[in-house]
Amino acid sequence: MSAPAAAVQPDACPLCQHPATTPYYTDKTRQYWHCPVCQLVFASRQSLLSNDAELAIYQQHQNDPYDAGYRQFLSKLAAPLLQRLGTAPLSGLDFGAGPGPTLYLLLEQGGHQVNNYDPYFAPDVALLERQYDFICSTEAIEHFYQPATEWQLWLNLLKPEGWLGLMTRLRPEHPTDFAKWHYKNDPTHVSFFHAETFLWLARRDGFAVEIIGPDVVILKRESVAGRS
């Protein structure tokens, strides 16, 4: 008689650290877990790529700053964020700018100054020792292996009443829809945020949050005096 299969131990949530996550979906390449606290769905830690393998995939990206279609895609975040930033010049950081930084061009057209940081393509850690009026991250947060780490970094980098503008596809509500969702098929996509995930973060850390669309979220840090 064969020995019974060992029980699969749940991975702790990489965002809120809740230990009792539950199986959400399994495909041919990896297992996904669901956090009942912050509603994050994330890929099993055993399936995460090495840094070299991850970089090899990123180097295949064709992010051309002069590509009108790519600029239009980024405008889904740039346009509503510029409306909220106002006309006074502000300082910003594009976190995870990638191999072809482009968002900063759209924001600088609005009169703001933006630095580009990327752990692979623009790893200037001196940029992480300042504070900013706004931080942007487009199609990057879903790549974070430990999103709690980057989120805490953003909290440290963001000034009081600062803005956080994010682009990521919000995950479907149910596992049956997740199973058909193409966004999960990219092996570098490992953290899948629900609208409720951002609402949870906003409540915990003192932000007002706007879900602009299925892939755009804007948060404004509340002043200490304005918090209950």
Report the distance separating Cα 86 and Cα 92, nearest Å.
13
Q: Residue 14: what residue type?
A: P
Domain interval for residue 135 = 22-226
pLDDT band at residue 224 using 50, 70 and 90 as cut-offs: low
CA distance 192 to 176: 15
**46 within some domain:** yes
Confidence of residue 75 (pLDDT cuts 50, 70, 90): very high
Give the pLDDT confidence score for residue 28 in this predicted structure. Answer: 93
Q: Kindly report the CATH number assigned to the domain that includes residue 178.
A: 3.40.50.150
Distances (CA, A) of 226 to 160, 207, 210: 11, 10, 18
Rounded to an integer, the average pLDDT of 216-222 is 97
Phi/psi at 191 (nearest 5 deg)? -125, 120
On whether residue 212 sits in a domain, the answer given is: yes
pLDDT digits (tens, 9 = 90+) for 138-177: 999 999 999 999 999 999 999 999 999 999 999 999 999 9
CA distances to 113, 136, 227 from 71, rounded to whole Å, are 18, 15, 36
Q: Count of CB atoms within 10 A of residue 48's CB?
A: 18
pLDDT at 2 over 90: no
Share of the chain above pLDDT 70, in %: 94
pLDDT for 62 equals 75
Residue 66 in domain: yes
User: Would 14 be classed as within a structural domain?
Assistant: no
Query: What local confidence, expressed as pLDDT, does residue 80 receive?
Result: 98
Is residue 9, in this structure, part of any structural domain at all? no
Chain centroid offset of residue 200 CA:
15
Q: Does residue 9 register a pLDDT over 90?
A: no
In a domain, 1, yes or no: no
Domain contains 85 = yes
What per-residue confidence (pLDDT) applies to 64?
83
**pLDDT greater than 60 at residue 228:** no
User: What is the 3 state secondary structure string of 195-226?
Assistant: HHHHHHHHHHHCEEEEEEECCEEEEEECCHHH
What CA–CA distance (Å, rounded) separates 75 from 84?
Answer: 14
Res. 226: pLDDT tops 70: no
Number of domain units in the chain: 1
Nearest 10 degrees: Cα torsion 66, 114, 100, 61 = -120
Task: Tell if the pTM clears 0.75, that is, is over it.
Answer: yes
Give residue 51's identity as a one-letter amino acid code: N
Q: Is the separation of the CB atoms in 132 and 91 below 8 Å?
A: yes
Residue 15 placed within a domain: no
Bridging pattern class, strands 158-167 and 132-138: parallel
First to last CA, the chain: 61
Asked if residue 8 has pLDDT above 80, the reply is no
pLDDT in tens, 33-74: 999 999 999 999 999 999 999 999 999 877 888 889 999 999
Backbone angles phi, psi at 24, to 5 degrees: -115, -45
Whole-Å CA distances, 50 to 12, 62, 183, 192:
20, 21, 20, 19
58: how many CB neighbours lie within 10 A of its CB? 15
Mean pLDDT of 111-124: 97
pLDDT class for 16, splitting at 50, 70, 90?
Answer: very high
